[in-house]
């Protein structure tokens, strides 16, 4: 029987306010709480609340044959606690009902694995502890920020005791192999690597409302036929997408909620499939082979690499300047100013460098859609102004 691993990602960054050169050394209020509150409340109304209720209905309808998984950053958790508590209560209810396995990641959705291994581990441990406190179970599976995987990430995930690692089934990684196989991580044989089927996932996440797509409209029954095309010896089909796919990226008027409600039943009808969580698949399946991942692979943009965040000089300079301040910030926190480290960590959220991307074509349109800025240069200037102020406060012990 082939497992369907339905996985959702939940994230909200702390967006910066328009912080100018003249605010440096004068204003320490970096974050636009009005915008952050408005966005998380809007997304909760459009997506989180209805999807929480929908997943609970699916579990009640299909029993043990339906399970899903979800990762939620600590920045999103904090914003829900402050501004959308009903959405968080719904997620807690799903955890208590045994519907959702919560997957660990970095607390602040950072690229720390690239720059500082100690900070990477610290964020993962902090986030794992927070998930356990909030949802009552310690995560057993791990996904890195933006689904980035490589051999280093796998090694740390294994060291931290995770049994499963989620990744992107990019063509240049998989090659002739199948994303539907379960793999062992190179150097960490006890860690199972579960890959995303990007074609099937993107049918829902990106193409669902595209009237120019030759498969539009996508019904639950049609999608079940797509699933049936996957070879029968497939161990798992990774359907990984943002939770905001339903209601935010694909509006309610597209029929996305009806699709989400009907799709599991359509998939289960043949008797070939069942829905399982990452840790269930890892415990059940023997790895088909070892997967070596020498270079980082992500789920972003056409390249499926790190160019969405570090593809131009502005992004590289901002990333380097941020981590150059890390050790001083840690010392300031240890000396009695922990709020400075929390500000630094909010700045480590990968969204800030994502907004600086200068790509064109469809990838550029996606970056622009999510950015609160008028241009990548404005994103860079704002970020560097804030970082300049933080550096002064760290250095002065203010």
Q: Can you tell me whether residue 291 is helix, strand or coil? A: strand
What is the rounded (10 degree) CA torsion for 318, 319, 323, 325? Answer: 10
Q: Which of 101, 105, 146, 248 is an active site residue? A: 146
Helix 117-135 to helix 85-96 angle, to the nearest 10 degrees? 80
8 A C-beta contact, residue 149 and residue 169: no
The rounded distance, in Å, linking the Cα atoms of 71 and 82 is: 19
- Here the tokens at position 125 are 């441990």
Contacts of 276 (CB under 8 A, 6+ apart): 3, 4, 5, 67, 236, 284
What own/partner pairs with CB < 8 Å and gap ≥ 24 does 81-88 have?
A: 82/37, 83/36, 83/37, 83/40, 83/41, 84/40, 84/41, 84/43, 84/44, 84/48, 86/44, 86/49, 87/40, 87/44, 87/48, 87/49, 87/52, 88/134
> Mind giving me the DSSP string for 297-353?
B-SSTTTTSSHHHHSSHHHHHHHHHHHHTHHHHHHHHHTT-HHHHHHHHHHTBTHHH
Phi and psi torsions of 101, nearest 5°: -95, 125
The rounded distance, in Å, linking the Cα atoms of 172 and 82 is: 42
User: Distances in Å between the alpha carbon of 83 and those of 38, 40, 44, 257?
Assistant: 8, 7, 10, 24
| β-strand partners of 184 | 192, 290
The rounded distance, in Å, linking the Cα atoms of 266 and 261 is: 10
Is 289 annotated in the active site?
Answer: no
Helix 220-228 to helix 198-205 angle, to the nearest 10 degrees? 170
Catalytic residues: 146
């Amino acid at each position: 029987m082939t497992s369907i691993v339905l996985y959702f990602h939940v994230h909200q960054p702390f967006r910066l306010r328009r912080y100018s050169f003249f605010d440096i050394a004068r204003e320490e209020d970096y974050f636009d709480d009005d915008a952050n509150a408005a966005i998380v409340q809007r997304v909760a109304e459009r997506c989180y609340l209805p999807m929480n209720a929908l997943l609970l209905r699916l579990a009640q309808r299909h029993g043990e044959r339906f399970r899903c998984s979800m990762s939620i950053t600590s920045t999103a958790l904090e914003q829900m606690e402050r501004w959308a508590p009903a959405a968080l209560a719904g997620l807690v209810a799903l955890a208590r009902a045994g519907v959702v396995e919560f997957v660990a990641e970095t607390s602040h959705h950072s690229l720390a694995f690239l720059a500082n291994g100690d900070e990477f581990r610290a964020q993962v441990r902090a986030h794992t502890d927070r998930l356990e406190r909030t949802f009552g179970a310690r995560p057993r599976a791990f996904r890195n920020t933006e689904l980035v995987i490589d051999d280093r990430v796998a090694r740390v995930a294994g060291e931290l005791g995770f049994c499963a690692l989620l990744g992107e089934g990019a063509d240049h990684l998989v090659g002739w192999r199948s994303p539907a196989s379960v793999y062992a991580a190179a150097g960490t044989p006890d860690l199972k690597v579960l890959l995303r089927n990007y074609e099937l996932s993107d049918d829902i996440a990106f193409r669902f409302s595209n009237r120019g797509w030759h498969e539009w409209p996508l019904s639950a029954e049609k999608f079940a036929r797509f699933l049936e095309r996957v070879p029968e010896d497939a161990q798992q089909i990774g359907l990984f997408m943002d939770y905001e796919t339903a209601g935010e990226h694909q509006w309610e008027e597209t029929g996305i909620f009806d699709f989400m409600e009907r799709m599991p039943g359509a998939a289960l009808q043949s008797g070939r499939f069942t829905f399982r969580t990452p840790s269930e698949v890892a415990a059940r399946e023997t790895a088909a082979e070892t997967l070596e991942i020498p270079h980082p692979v992500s789920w972003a943009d056409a390249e499926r690499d790190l160019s969405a965040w570090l593809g131009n000089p502005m992004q590289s300079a901002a990333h380097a300047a941020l981590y150059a301040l890390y050790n001083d910030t840690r010392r300031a926190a240890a000396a009695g100013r922990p709020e400075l480290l929390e500000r630094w960590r909010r700045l480590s959220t990968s969204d800030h460098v994502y907004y600086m991307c200068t790509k064109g074509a469809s990838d550029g349109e996606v970056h622009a859609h999510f950015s609160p800025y008028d241009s990548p240069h404005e994103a860079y200037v704002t970020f560097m102004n804030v970082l300049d102020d933080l550096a002064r406060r760290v250095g002065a012990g203010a």
